[in-house]
Amino acid sequence: MTTTVAPAFTDTPLEIGGRVFRSRLMVGTGKYKDNATMVRAHEASGAEVVTVAVRRVNLDRTKEDGILYHLDPSRVFLLANTAGCYTAEDAMRYARLAREAGFNEFVKLEVIGDQQTLLPDTTGLLEATRQLAKEGFKVMAYTNEDLITALRLQDAGAVAVMPLASPIGSGMGLVNPYHIRVIKSRLSVPVIVDAGVGTASDACLTMEQGVDGILMNTALAEAKDPVAMAHAMRLATEAGRAAFLAGRMPRREIAVPSSPTTGMLA
């Protein structure tokens, strides 16, 4: 017997730069031990947006080493990044090359300022965002959890701002929930937390801050079982979102009994 269950809650769709996305979880394609595992992890995550990097073709290899031999661009939304770029000029060059591949106008813009922490160079980031937005790009800007930079990126024309939970690939989780909440409360463009989540509770806690989505790569790729972790992250992202929409109970520093205090035996 089948029963129809009404949805427990209603959510507005995630819309970025005029395009509606079906999942709030976005995933990367780096560092997987093999492409078959990556594809299965993507499926388990339910993600629609999949990030890719731009690199030189290896002239000495057979042609199957490009990621497009393993991804179906009709089933996923390819979001090219500018990872590895340390100047605005380099990042813009990579963004323009990515656009010429012909999939879309979106770019996950990274301008890195420091090799050890991979924290962004916000000056270069603002400069590149401004210029690329002028050229018609839909810029999703990877930044730190600083409100003022986030506001400036929005003013510069970013269609989404992507503050970090913690440094790229660190798996430290959400180190600064307060600042993420502040950014979300002040921006009108979507806020997608990018980088740093390590496990499902991190993703859930991040979504509970009210942000519009979350992007992760290493948490899946370096999990012992990436497919199972992708499933967990999907549930956690949905759980965190639902909990945010549900609105949590007030926090108290004293206990309040859940069972009646009357009718006790004498």
Partner 1 sequence: MIAALPRLHAVTDDRVAAAPDLVAKATAMAAVAGQDLAVHLRSRALTGQAFVHTARALAAALHPYGSWLVINDRADVARAVAAQGVVTGRGGLVPADVRRVAPAAVVGRSVHDAAETRAAADADFLVAGAVFPTTSHPGATPAGLDVVRTAAATGHPVIAIGGLTAARTPEVLEAGAHGIAAIRALWDPVDVAAAVAGFLDALPTVDLVDVEINGEPRHARRGITLAELLGDLSLDARAVVVEHNRHIVRRDTLGTVRIADGDRIELVHFVGGG
Nearer to partner 1, 30 or 113 (CB): 30
Coil vs helix vs strand at 213: strand
Nearer to partner 1, 81 or 209 (CB): 81
Facing residues of 35 across strands? none
Q: How far is the CB of 242 from partner 1 (least distance, A)?
A: 26
Nearer to partner 1, 117 or 151 (CB): 117
Nearer to partner 1, 113 or 210 (CB): 113
Which residues 6+ apart lie within 8 Å of 30 measured at CB? Answer: 53, 217, 218, 221
Edge to edge, the sheet with strand 213-216 lists 25-27, 213-216, 192-194
Nearer to partner 1, 152 or 197 (CB): 197
Q: 47-79 burial, b if ≥16 CB within 10 A, otherwise e?
A: bbbbbbbbeeeeeeeeeeeeeeebbeeeebbbb
* Total residues belonging to the chain: 266
Q: How far is the CB of 183 from partner 1 (least distance, A)?
A: 21
Do residues 198 and 219 touch, judged by C-beta distance below 8 A?
yes
Q: How far is the CB of 216 from partner 1 (least distance, A)?
A: 8
Indicate the residue type of 46: G
Q: What is the DSSP letter of 222?
A: T
Q: How far is the CB of 59 from partner 1 (least distance, A)?
A: 6
Nearer to partner 1, 31 or 186 (CB): 31
Q: Which residues bind partner 1 (CB under 8 A)?
A: 28-32, 38, 51-57, 59-63, 65-69, 78, 80-81, 83, 96-98, 100-102, 168-169, 195, 215-218
Q: How far is the CB of 89 from partner 1 (least distance, A)?
A: 11
Backbone angles phi, psi at 16, to 5 degrees: -130, 125
Pairing label, strands 138-143, 106-109 = parallel
Q: How far is the CB of 132 from partner 1 (least distance, A)?
A: 14
User: How far are the Cα atoms of 77, 190, 222 from residue 225, in angstroms, in the given order?
Assistant: 24, 31, 8
Coil vs helix vs strand at 92: helix
The neighbour count for residue 94, using CB atoms within 10 Å, is 23
Catalytic residues: 108
Indicate the residue type of 164: L
